[in-house]
Structure 1
Amino acid sequence: MIIREWRGRALRDKAGEYPTHFRKTVVPELRKVPGFLGATLSRREEGDRIEFLVLSGWESMEAIRAFAGDNLDKAVVEPGAVAALSDYDQTVRHYEVVADIDNAPETA
């Protein structure tokens, strides 16, 4: 599995707009892409802004290419996200998952 990491930042008074956009627009579009495995949206306070972290899971770099195009490191940022954020990363990072731990009890 490949994790795709991207970050964007919003002013506090607009901090609710990006999560709404993410749930209503981004997630339905991602679910249409073969090889998309899921995503998390996290937030943290950073001075007068809120930083959002999106981690999406993919079966392969080929699946990411189907979503992002040939320039795999370029962020895909929709107009709704641009309107909700004060700034955002223009590039993404990819990580190969080497361990995936859940909290389920181990079986013998």
Structure 2
Amino acid sequence: MIARVWTGWAARGADAEAYQRHYETEVAGHLGQVPGFRGARLLRVDDGGEVRFTSITYFASMDDVRGFAGDDPGAAVVEDAARRVLARWDDRVVHHEVAVAVPGGTVE
């Protein structure tokens, strides 16, 4: 399994809340349609005057990542709606092979 890790920053308040809603609705809906998608987590932390979001998406293989990201799987996929509320973001993502997965309860 492949973990795709990306980071973006939004101003605290309305912009951060808007980005989180965007991820919960649009991003989640789009990812759910991608063959080989295995799940996602959006992490958030106050980072000075901003909120730092880290997105971790899981795919069965790099071929499935390419199905999501296109010919350059290392390029970040940042939709226009996200660009409107994020102050900045990483243009590139990092892919990790999941070496160990520890099953457990759900995170809510």
Using the size of structure 1 for normalisation, the TM-score is 0.93
The runs of 5 or more residues in structure 1 that have no matched partner are: none
Q: 1:7 is matched with which residue?
A: 7
Residues 1:70 and 2:75 are matched in the alignment: no
Aligned length in residues: 104
Distance in 2 of aligned mates of 1:102 and 1:8: 28
Per-residue deviation, residues 37-77 of structure 1 (Å, max 9, x unmatched):
01000101111100000000000000000110110100000
- Cα RMSD after superposing both structures: 1.0
Distance in 1 of aligned mates of 2:43 and 2:12: 15
How far residue 102 of structure 1 moved from its aligned partner, in angstroms, is 2.4
Q: Which AA in structure 1 matches 2:97?
A: E
Identity of aligned residues (%): 38
Using the size of structure 2 for normalisation, the TM-score is 0.93
The runs of 5 or more residues in structure 2 that have no matched partner are: none
Distance in 1 of aligned mates of 2:77 and 2:104: 32
| Off by >3 Å, runs of 4+ in structure 1 | none
Q: Which AA in structure 2 matches 1:50?
A: V
Larger Rg: 1
